[in-house]
Amino acid sequence: MPTAVAFVLKGYPRLSETFIAQEIRALERRGLDIRLFSLRRPTDHTVHPVHREIVAPVVYLPEYLYEEPLRVLRAWRTVRRLAGYAAALATWRRDLRRQPTANRARRFGQAAVLAAELPADVGHLHAHFLHTPASVTRYAATMLGLPWSVSAHAKDVWTIPDWEAREKLGDCRWLASCSRINAQHLAALAADAGRVRLIYHGIDLARFQPAAPTPDGPRPPARNGDDPRDPVRLLSVGRAVEKKGYDILIEALRQLPGDLHWRLVHIGAGERLAALKQLAASVGLASRIDWLGALPQGDVLAALRRSDLFVLAARVARDGDRDGLPNVLLEAQSQGLACLSTRVSAIPELIEHDRTGLLVPPGEPQPLAAALARLIRDPALRARLGQAGLSRVSTTFAMAPGIEQLAALFGLEGTPV
């Protein structure tokens, strides 16, 4: 039986990281003994049901070192006697010289607390995200002489310097990436490309069972935008940040014909939420958009089942940040909901244009508006794309195969999940 594994997370629990929570719970069911260490305390006001099912204890490391100076001092007195302390310190100093930021400085103190407080039965460390969590994990693992691994997702892949990704790939035991485009990018940076594994998150179909079908299919397809009393129901789920493209979506909605009746529901929090509401109001769309904020998984599922069309106008942000393979698209397709998105990052790995959904160029409102109009007017097309998307998710993006790959990497054997 393998020893316990410490998972190092940037924040826990988070409504926007359901994919991490479902992976942790599935690995627990497979028999992995997990301990959670979070660099930040939660900021969401609620949690998903899967968070309540996770049995792993969580320890919160000092988010800012000055807030817990005695804890940091005690940790330093402990770890400075470890055999790997000098090597970890030298690695951190090299990193700090190349990127002299407060965040980089803080990582070593967090790593010292992690190493000092790690339970004795933990024999492996695993980070979620290649940037800050992997740095803390790398320094702590070096101090302790333990192997470590990392899951890379989206922003962390595309916004850290190449030198940093290259060196972490040289130190870690293995790296799991959740999209082919991410895996290819990282493999090109690695001295040993075999350390990079493509492992899709997939979707837990037990939690996202398709809605019970109606005589017309999985959802009534009658709405076509003609009836102002029964508008076509559009849904988008995502954080209000630049890479999600909500300003582009608002402009595309503004360009729709005036006689086309629709209503958009947005689910998600984020730093740009207030600005987006102001933008919608400035173009006369405030009365046609409902901003619901962050919601737990059950409410998201209910919203998917009430909707006619899912739209996500993802794009590459100015700092290089971009989505990987957004789980919200998998969740939408699991409900037979037609999806409209963009040709960015790994989205084309899931959506095949005009077969399992529609794709348009990122950052361009006019093609997005044209695709929206086409889908709003054509309920039969929405039904066809929704059914094809459901079939693809069910056969190609189920969660279980990815969990089995991870279980093998963590040294688990036995009955598949």
User: In the predicted model, is pLDDT for residue 276 greater than 90?
Assistant: yes
Are 300 and 15 contacting, i.e. CB atoms less than 8 angstroms apart? Answer: no
Cα-Cα end-to-end distance for the chain: 17
* Placement of tokens 């492996």 in the chain: 124
Who's near 368: CB < 8 A, 6+ residues apart? 248, 249, 252, 311, 313, 340, 342, 360
C-alpha to C-alpha distance for 242 and 204, rounded to whole angstroms: 28
Specify whether 368 is located in the same domain as 404: no
Who's near 300: CB < 8 A, 6+ residues apart? 237, 267, 331
User: In the predicted model, is pLDDT for residue 397 greater than 80?
Assistant: yes
Please report which confidence band the pLDDT of residue 381 belongs to, taking 50, 70 and 90 as the band edges.
very high
Please report which confidence band the pLDDT of residue 184 belongs to, taking 50, 70 and 90 as the band edges.
very high
Specify whether 391 is located in the same domain as 270: yes
User: In the predicted model, is pLDDT for residue 415 greater than 80?
Assistant: no
Specify whether 281 is located in the same domain as 189: no
Specify whether 139 is located in the same domain as 28: yes
Percent of the chain residues past pLDDT 70, beyond the cut: 96
Does residue 383 lie in a domain region?
A: yes
Q: Residue 203 in 3-state DSSP?
A: strand
Q: In the prediction, which pLDDT does 210 show? A: 79
C-alpha to C-alpha distance for 378 and 386, rounded to whole angstroms: 12
Does residue 226 lie in a domain region?
A: no
Does residue 62 lie in a domain region?
A: yes
pLDDT tens sequence across 129-178:
999 999 999 999 999 999 999 999 988 999 999 999 999 999 999 999 99
> Is the pLDDT higher at 320 or at 9?
9
- Angle CA(253)–CA(243)–CA(347) in degrees, nearest 5? 85
Q: In the prediction, which pLDDT does 401 show? A: 93
Q: Structure tokens of 170?
A: 């040289």
User: In the predicted model, is pLDDT for residue 417 greater than 50?
Assistant: no
What CATH number did the domain enclosing 56 receive? 3.40.50.2000
User: How many domains in the chain?
Assistant: 2
User: In the predicted model, is pLDDT for residue 218 greater than 60?
Assistant: no
> Is the pLDDT higher at 16 or at 291?
291
User: In the predicted model, is pLDDT for residue 288 greater than 60?
Assistant: yes
Specify whether 23 is located in the same domain as 136: yes
Please report which confidence band the pLDDT of residue 213 belongs to, taking 50, 70 and 90 as the band edges.
low
pLDDT tens sequence across 92-121:
999 999 999 999 999 999 999 999 999 999
Question: 358-363 long-range contacts, Cβ below 8 Å, gap at least 24?
Answer: 358/385, 362/245, 362/248, 362/313, 362/314, 362/315, 362/316, 363/245, 363/248, 363/315, 363/316
Does residue 414 lie in a domain region?
A: no
Nearest to 110 by CA among 150, 76, 62: 62
Specify whether 178 is located in the same domain as 251: no
Specify whether 150 is located in the same domain as 238: no
Please report which confidence band the pLDDT of residue 16 belongs to, taking 50, 70 and 90 as the band edges.
confident
Specify whether 250 is located in the same domain as 376: yes
Specify whether 383 is located in the same domain as 405: no
Angle between helices 85-98 and 102-117 (to 10 degrees): 160
pTM, to two decimals? 0.87
Does residue 49 lie in a domain region?
A: yes
Q: Structure tokens of 163?
A: 């030198």
DSSP 84: T
* Averaged pLDDT of the chain: 94
Does residue 58 lie in a domain region?
A: yes
Specify whether 266 is located in the same domain as 361: yes
Q: Which domain holds residue 16?
A: 4-201+399-409
Nearest to 156 by CA among 343, 31, 293, 319: 319
Does residue 333 lie in a domain region?
A: yes
Q: In the prediction, which pLDDT does 206 show? A: 85
Specify whether 166 is located in the same domain as 257: no
User: In the predicted model, is pLDDT for residue 221 greater than 60?
Assistant: no
Specify whether 15 is located in the same domain as 99: yes
User: In the predicted model, is pLDDT for residue 128 greater than 50?
Assistant: yes
Does residue 375 lie in a domain region?
A: yes
C-alpha to C-alpha distance for 417 and 415, rounded to whole angstroms: 7
Mean pLDDT of the region 259-288: 97
Mean pLDDT of the region 197-212: 86
Percent of the chain residues past pLDDT 90, beyond the cut: 88
